[in-house]
């Protein structure tokens, strides 16, 4: 069984290989799209760009996870991943708007496309995508990061199949309007992904509760731990897409005051195992142990002045 460092090293090598091949695919489809005058190929190049960025983000997340926290950045650099995703989503939307504008022009006035060359380039792109997918597949079940990148690549492989079909249709029929229609379909796929990226990034930056966590269920599970009277002041948020944090006050029963450490340990194990919350800060208290009221009332009090003698008179400060 490999340790964490060997596992990260294995994934890093696979990501580096995937990034190299995906970069070649992106450049081939970008240059090929301009050469063949195929908007569908250019749209697919934009889709490959989303995959390339996803792979780079995944690799960056692994690298950032190994950087130590400092007294200036106590969470380390994990949030850089979210900022990059936010920029990526915004850029993709701008690219999609440009492709849709060009597609509308070509729907009104279809332009000739070098369909045979387009077909060959799309075949190369599909082959590259399948190779990348095969390299990522073995770790796709072990790591959420890898699974996300794997699904991105599979999605681009499907888009490449659409471009190939379009090339065949245009080669035999000369219906060049198909090129614009395929590009619109690919742009819709990209837009859905870009909007999802923006929504998730903004949700994390606004300290939102991760969508996979039901707060009511979480609180119920914490309250069910033996010795816990109640849970309050609960906060759940994401540091980045793969690290979830929690803070809460845990009110314990009076007879369990001497077992506070055991209660906290049990809650932390449950949070990590069942909810994948690896950063938890729990403050233990015992409201029933207090002799006074649980809620302390605040009251104004008279402020005492300090007298200083200067010469013959005194001045109050």
Distance of alpha carbon 72 from alpha carbon 227, whole angstroms: 37
This prediction's pTM: 0.71
Domain range summary for the chain, segments of one domain joined by +: 4-205, 215-289
Residue 226: Cβ within 10 Å count = 10
**Which pLDDT score is estimated for 225?**
94
Phi, psi of 82 (to 5 degrees): -70, -40
Residue whose C-alpha is closest to residue 186's, from 153, 165, 158, 167: 158
Share of the chain above pLDDT 70, in %: 85
Q: Give the pairing of strands 243-252 and 228-240.
A: antiparallel
Q: For residues 98 and 201, what is the distance between their CA atoms, to the nearest angstrom?
A: 23
Minimum mean pLDDT among 34-43, 149-158, 212-221, 255-264: which range?
Answer: 149-158
Q: Which residues pair with 251 in a beta bridge?
A: 230, 285
Three-state secondary structure along the chain?
A: CCCHHHHHHHHHHHHHHHHHHHHHHHHHHHHHHHHHCCHHHHHHHHHHHHHHHHHHHHHHHHHHHCCCCCCCCCCCCCHHHHHHHHHHHHHHHHHHHHHHHHHHHHHHCCCCCCHHHHHHHHHHHHHHHHHHHHHHHCCCCCCHHHHHHHHHHHHHHHHHHHHHHHHHHHHHHCCCHHHHHHHHHHHHHHHHHHHHHHHHHHHHHCCCCCCCCCHHHHHHHHHCCCCEEEEEEEEEEEEECCEEEEEEEEEECHHHHHHHHHHHHHHHHHHHHHHCEEEEEEEEECHHHCCCCCCCCCCCCCCCCCEEEECCEEEEC
Length of the chain: 317
Residues 281-290 have a mean pLDDT of 82
Tell me phi and psi for residue 141, to 5 degrees. -90, -15
Q: Mean pLDDT in the chain?
A: 83
Weakest-pLDDT range from 168-182, 193-207, 296-310: 296-310
Contact 92, 193 (CB under 8 A): yes
Q: Which pLDDT belongs to residue 73?
A: 85
Mean pLDDT, residues 16-31 taken together:
90
Question: What is the predicted pLDDT for the residue at 294?
Answer: 39
Distance CA 86, CA 81 (A): 9
Mark 254-268 as b/e (b = at least 16 C-beta within 10 Å). Answer: eebeeebeebbebbb
Q: At what angle do helices 115-137 and 144-173 cross, to 10 degrees?
A: 160
Structurally, at CATH architecture level, domain 4-205 sits in: Up-down Bundle (1.20)
Distance CA 276, CA 246 (A): 11
The per-residue pLDDT for range 67-88, each reduced to its tens digit, is 888 888 888 888 887 888 888 7
Output the pLDDT for position 159. Answer: 85
How far is the first Cα of the chain from the last one, in angstroms, to the nearest whole number? Answer: 72
Does domain 215-289 fall under CATH 3.30.70.1350? My reply is yes
């Amino acid at each position: 069984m490999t340790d964490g460092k060997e596992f990260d090293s294995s994934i890093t090598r696979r990501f580096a290989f995937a990034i190299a091949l995906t970069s070649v695919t992106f450049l081939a489809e970008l240059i090929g799209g301009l050469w063949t005058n195929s908007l569908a190929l250019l749209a697919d190049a934009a889709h490959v760009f989303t995959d390339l960025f996803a792979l780079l983000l995944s690799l960056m997340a692994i690298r950032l996870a190994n950087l130590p926290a400092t007294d200036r950045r106590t969470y380390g650099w994990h949030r850089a991943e979210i900022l990059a995703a936010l920029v990526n989503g915004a850029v993709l939307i701008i690219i999609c708007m440009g492709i849709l504008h060009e597609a509308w022009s070509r729907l009104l006035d279809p332009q000739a496309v070098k369909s045979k060359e387009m077909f060959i380039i799309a075949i190369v792109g599909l082959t590259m995508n399948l190779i990348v997918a095969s390299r990522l597949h073995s770790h796709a079940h072990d790591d959420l990061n890898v699974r996300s990148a794997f699904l991105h690549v599979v999605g681009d492989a499907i888009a490449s199949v659409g471009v190939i079909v379009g090339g065949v249709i245009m080669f035999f029929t000369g219906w060049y309007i198909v090129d614009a229609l395929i590009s619109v379909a690919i742009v819709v796929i990209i837009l859905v992904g870009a909007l999802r990226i923006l929504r998730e990034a903004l949700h994390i930056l606004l300290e939102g509760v991760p969508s996979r966590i039901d707060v009511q269920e979480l609180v119920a599970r914490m309250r069910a731990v033996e010795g816990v009277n109640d849970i309050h002041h609960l906060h759940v948020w994401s540091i980045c897409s793969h690290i979830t944090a929690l803070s809460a006050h845990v009110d314990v029963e009076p007879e369990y005051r001497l077992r506070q450490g055991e209660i906290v340990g049990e809650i932390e194990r449950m949070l990590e195992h069942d909810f994948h919350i690896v950063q938890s800060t729990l403050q233990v208290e015992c409201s029933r142990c207090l002799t006074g009221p649980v809620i302390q009332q605040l009251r104004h009090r008279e402020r005492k002045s300090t007298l200083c003698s200067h010469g013959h008179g005194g001045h109050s400060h």
